[in-house]
Structure formats: C-alpha cells, structure tokens
Amino acid sequence: MDRSRAGMTLVELLCGIGVLVIAGMWLLGSYHSALHLTEVSQQTTVAINDLRDMMERIKATPFTQLQASFPHGVANGPGGARAYPSVVGGYTLPAEQITVTHSPNATADPRELTVQLTWTNRGRVYQRRVETVRASEAS
C-alpha cells in the first residue's frame, strides 16, 4: 500500500476548513444584511401609512385653514404642540418627524403642499415625501 495516497494531508484539510469558514462568514453577512433590509422595508411601510394619514387630513381640512393647521416648514405641527403625531396615531418610527411645506408660498392659491417624513435607523436618516395641490375652488 502506497502511504502517499492513503488520505488527506493536513494542508488539504486546513484549506477545506478555510473555504468553509469563508463561506460561512459570507452567509452570515448576507443574513445580517437581509435582516436590516427587512427592518427598513417595514419602517418604510409605516412611513407611507403615516404620510397617507397626513394627506387624508390635509384633503379634509378647509382651504382657508391649511396654513393654521399645517404651518409651512414647522416640524410636528403648529406651535410645537406635536399635533401631527395625533393625526397619524402616534409616532412609531425612531426619531420620526413630519414637516409640511407650501409652495410657492403659504398664501398662494392654488398651492402645492409637500408632506415629508424623516426617521433614523442605525444612524442613517431616511425620508419619504408626498405632494398634493389644493385650491380654494375645486374645478
């Protein structure tokens, strides 16, 4: 019997283990990334639902009350009272803020209203926005 062909050498065994370790680390990294993307996707769904609630409230507000109810560029509602969280059923995203802006200005007729929602996840800021146009007279 030829002992040089009897089995695997230590070098071959270590190379095989090295390949398995590298593949395992790659799989763990992929799994971690997939978990993070799932979390961001769920948060994006919540953000879109909150934006939808804000748009419904804007559509239900009389045109003459838009500036008072949704002041231009004020985060979380008029007077810093955090009025917007009550519209969306409370903030559930980390560091969530909602801001409404009027374009070209807060007294224009018609005017474009932009609702922007921002939140953070693992130190990164995410944002989503929706826009609508309101006029004093519907056409």
Tens digit of pLDDT for each residue in 67-123? 999 999 998 988 766 788 888 888 899 999 999 999 998 888 899 999 999 999 999
- The number of beta carbons lying within 10 Å of the beta carbon of residue 107 is 10
Is the Cα torsion angle 57, 63, 64, 67 positive or negative in sign? positive
pLDDT in tens, 29-72: 999 999 999 999 999 999 999 999 999 999 999 999 999 999 99
127 sits in the region (left: phi over 0; alpha: psi -120 to 50; else beta) called beta
Q: Which residues pair with 121 in a beta bridge?
A: 124
pLDDT of residue 81: 66
Beta strands across the sheet bearing 111-121? 97-103, 111-121, 124-134
Binning the chain into helix, strand and coil, the percentages to the nearest 5 are 50, 20, 30
How far apart, in whole angstroms, are the C-alpha atoms of residue 134 and residue 64?
A: 11
111 closest CA partner among 123, 100, 120, 103: 103
How far apart, in whole angstroms, are the C-alpha atoms of residue 72 and residue 101?
A: 5
